[in-house]
Amino acid sequence: MQYNPGWNGSSVNLLHVRAAGPGDSLHYVWSSIGAPAVLLVATQSPSSALRVNWSQLLSASPAGAIWIDPPDSVVYSTAGVFTKLFEFSEAKPLGKLFYPTYDLSEFSWDSLNHTLNHTALTAELSGVPASDPGGGFSNGSLAFRVTAYEADGRDGRLPGLLHTANSSQLEFILAGVAPRGNSSRFVLEVATVEEAGAARRLRSERSIDDEYTPTIFEVLALVAEAQNGSSTLGFLQWKATAYGSRSPRREDGIRCRAQGLQAANWTLPVSSIVQAYFGDSLGSTCTVSALNVSFGGEEGEVYQEKRYLSWSVLLGFGEPPRDTFSPLVISITAVALGTPLAMLLLGSCLVLLAQRRRYSEYEPIN
């Protein structure tokens, strides 16, 4: 993990996370320059390196300021941008009442270096609007908490996402922000960037297994697939829940919905690492898609009461991890289903045996 590699200042935030394998390497680049964004690059070289031209990156024309060396080692690259936070309330009978949008590219962000933990592989990017006329952020903040992983495993806190060494977790946190209406609900806008040859698709999977996330039976994934459908290149994966507590429990759950993936008909915020890496192709060959993730529902008052919301999403390369039944659940299921079946078979055998013995005591009648 490197903070602002090649730059001594802390007025901007750029975090580079590199995972090296025997024959390849993965790069995650997180930044709050412009809107908060993450750049994901997979290479076929174990020694590939991130290069940053800082003077160009901080200029009005950042295209080409970020690249991977050697350039021909890159096999796949994508990006995610967290652009806006919407707030609305249900105003009956008029319908939804939207308040002025929080544009995340206009936030003021704290130095990420103060929260960087090289042992736990975590960091937190926290910010507030540069201009906040309504005072909603006077006692609150919006944050993105990043966690990298060195091995396969499962996060110890709800929603307990399963992860691999090829993935990182992002936790979106809204803490202490005063809602502007009764039962306000929030919507986070997420944009993705794909180069030519790849496309995003929203996938929803349901399971009867809620062992690791009680009462939640749906997992959603925003996957990037090759246009020929031959492989899955990358993903964002989350469970259909957020939580209203710093120490989340089942009863703190807040409903989470994905409101459809659409082609973005607007330009991304300027001066971001996305423009710096993709350059001129961002407006020509690259595909920009946007997804709204909403928090709240019938139980929308959870945030109103506790003023806290956290939503966890896993980002990575290849196929997203899939939960399977644990050995304990398999054993309990086997006992629950096997015992009645064994009793049925044993009873059938005893009945047949009793019938044979009864009829064998009599001689046939001539």
**Mean pLDDT value across residues 176-191:** 91
Closest by alpha carbon to 163, among 153, 172, 171?
A: 153
- 115 falls in which pLDDT band (50, 70, 90)? very high
129 forms bridges with which residues in the sheet? Answer: 107
Are β-strands 308-317 and 167-175 bridged in parallel, bridged antiparallel, or unpaired?
antiparallel
- Percent of the chain residues topping a pLDDT of 70: 90
CA of residue 302 relative to chain centroid, distance:
21
* pLDDT, mean over the chain: 90
What does the pLDDT look like over 274-293, one tens digit per residue? 999 999 888 788 999 999 99
What does the pLDDT look like over 282-339, one tens digit per residue? 878 899 999 999 998 655 567 888 899 999 999 999 999 998 765 656 666 666 777 7
CA distance 311 to 140: 17
- 362 falls in which pLDDT band (50, 70, 90)? low
Question: Domain limits of the chain?
Answer: 2-317, 328-365
pLDDT (0 to 100) of residue 13: 97
Q: In a 3-state reduction of DSSP, which class is residue 220?
A: strand
**Mean pLDDT value across residues 104-133:** 95
288 φ, ψ to 5°?
-110, 120
pLDDT (0 to 100) of residue 139: 94
Q: Please name the residues in contact with 330: beta carbons below 8 A apart, sequence gap of 6 or more.
A: none
53 forms bridges with which residues in the sheet? Answer: none
Q: Check residues 92 and 239 and name the one with the higher pLDDT.
A: 239
CA distance 140 to 309: 12
Q: Check residues 302 and 50 and name the one with the higher pLDDT.
A: 50
Structure tokens at 173: 């946190």
Cis status of the peptide bond prior to 133, with omega within 30 of 0: no
**Contact indicator for 272, 35 with CB cutoff of 8 Å:** yes
**Mean pLDDT value across residues 47-68:** 95
pLDDT (0 to 100) of residue 227: 84
Are β-strands 241-243 and 253-263 bridged in parallel, bridged antiparallel, or unpaired?
antiparallel
What does the pLDDT look like over 15-40, one tens digit per residue? 999 999 999 999 999 999 999 999 99
**Mean pLDDT value across residues 34-61:** 95
- 14 falls in which pLDDT band (50, 70, 90)? very high
For the chain, give me the number of helices (H) and strands (E)? 4, 23
Residues in the chain: 366
**Mean pLDDT value across residues 2-20:** 95
Residue 343's H or E segment, with its range, is helix 327-360
- Calculate the alpha carbon distances from 131 to 97, 102, 199 in Å: 22, 10, 36
DSSP-assigned letter for residue 244: S
pLDDT (0 to 100) of residue 148: 97
pLDDT (0 to 100) of residue 206: 93
- 358 falls in which pLDDT band (50, 70, 90)? low
CA distance 235 to 228: 17
Residue 167's H or E segment, with its range, is strand 167-175
Structure tokens at 355: 């019938």
Region of poorest pLDDT, from 64-78, 176-190, 200-214, 290-304: 290-304
pTM here is 0.88
pLDDT (0 to 100) of residue 69: 97
Dihedral sign computed on CA atoms, order 203, 218, 189, 154? negative
**Mean pLDDT value across residues 66-95:** 90
CA distance 24 to 48: 8
- Calculate the alpha carbon distances from 189 to 8, 147, 220 in Å: 32, 21, 16
Region of poorest pLDDT, from 58-62, 73-77, 178-182, 297-301: 297-301
Closest by alpha carbon to 32, among 313, 278, 270, 272?
A: 272
CA distance 323 to 207: 9
CA distance 169 to 184: 27
